[in-house]
Amino acid sequence: MKIIAIGRNYVAHIQELQNEIPQEPVVFLKPDTAILKNNMPFYYPDFSQDIHHEVEIVLKISREGKSIAKEFAHKYYDEIGLGIDFTARDLQSQLKAKGLPWEIAKAFNGSAPISDFLPKTQFKDLRNLNFSLQVNGQLRQQGNTSLMIYDFDAIIAYVSQYFTLKKGDLIFTGTPQGVAPIQIGDRLQGYIEKTLMFDFEVK
């Protein structure tokens, strides 16, 4: 399986990092070794002093497809979950400044904690979905999918032009504002609406 992630999909987050609003979705990949499941702890890596949390809604692909038209994109995912796109911001800034690829800053071991997945039918309106991240019991990030530049269907249509989507692939759909550094000892709890989706520690 593969993990596809979308960057710069919420305007307020683009502004906080002083990036430009993209003309097309910003896409990157993470390998399966990035996944952390079942509230396993995240071990802070030696190579960074500035790991940031980015809480994101995650789609789970339910059938194979490529070059999927936007109007059919909803047929390609049945479940959603919540994840963190951990980012080594110090490494990413150095790489961005040189115009180099970001992989080591975004795709390292454990950089993609994910929750269990819930049927999308459980939610009234996927285009108006609240999600949030608490760190040590304090609200750090709060998003609503209505604020995405590219919605779920647009993302699937776009990325499937380049990558055949397979059952079980995951798509991280971008983070709202409020990204910030984590510290060893932090406890991260993520919610979709009022449902606790993940709860794990940084070690």
Task: Classify residue 97 by burial, with Cβ atoms within 10 Å: 0-12, 13-18, 19+.
Answer: exposed
**The one among 3, 48, 73, 85 contacting Mg ion by CB under 5 A:** 85
Which residues contact residue 68 at a Cβ distance below 8 angstroms, ignoring those fewer than 6 apart?
76, 156, 157, 160, 165
8-state DSSP, 103: H
Nearer to Mg ion, 107 or 202 (CB): 107
Q: Which of 14, 34, 54, 198 binds Mg ion (CB under 5 A)?
A: 54
Q: How far is the CB of 75 from Mg ion (least distance, A)?
A: 25
Q: Return the number of the residue (132 or 175) whose C-beta is nearest Mg ion.
A: 175
Q: Least CB distance from residue 55 to Mg ion, whole Å?
A: 9
Q: Measured from the CB of residue 174, what is the shortest distance to Mg ion in angstroms?
A: 6
- Among 180, 176, 185, residue whose Cα is nearest residue 203: 185
Q: Which is nearer to Mg ion, 85 or 153 (CB)?
A: 85
Residue 54 or 169 with smaller CB distance to Mg ion: 54
141 binds Mg ion (CB under 5 A): no
User: Among 134, 145, 160, 175, which residue interacts with Mg ion (rule: CB under 5 A)?
Assistant: 175
146 secondary structure, DSSP code: G
Three-state SS across 47-95? CCCCEEECEEEEEEECCCECCCCHHHHHHHEEEEEEEECCEEHHHHHHH
CB of 96 to Mg ion, least distance (A): 14
> Using CB under 5 A as the criterion, which residues of the chain lie in contact with Mg ion when the complex forms?
54, 85, 175
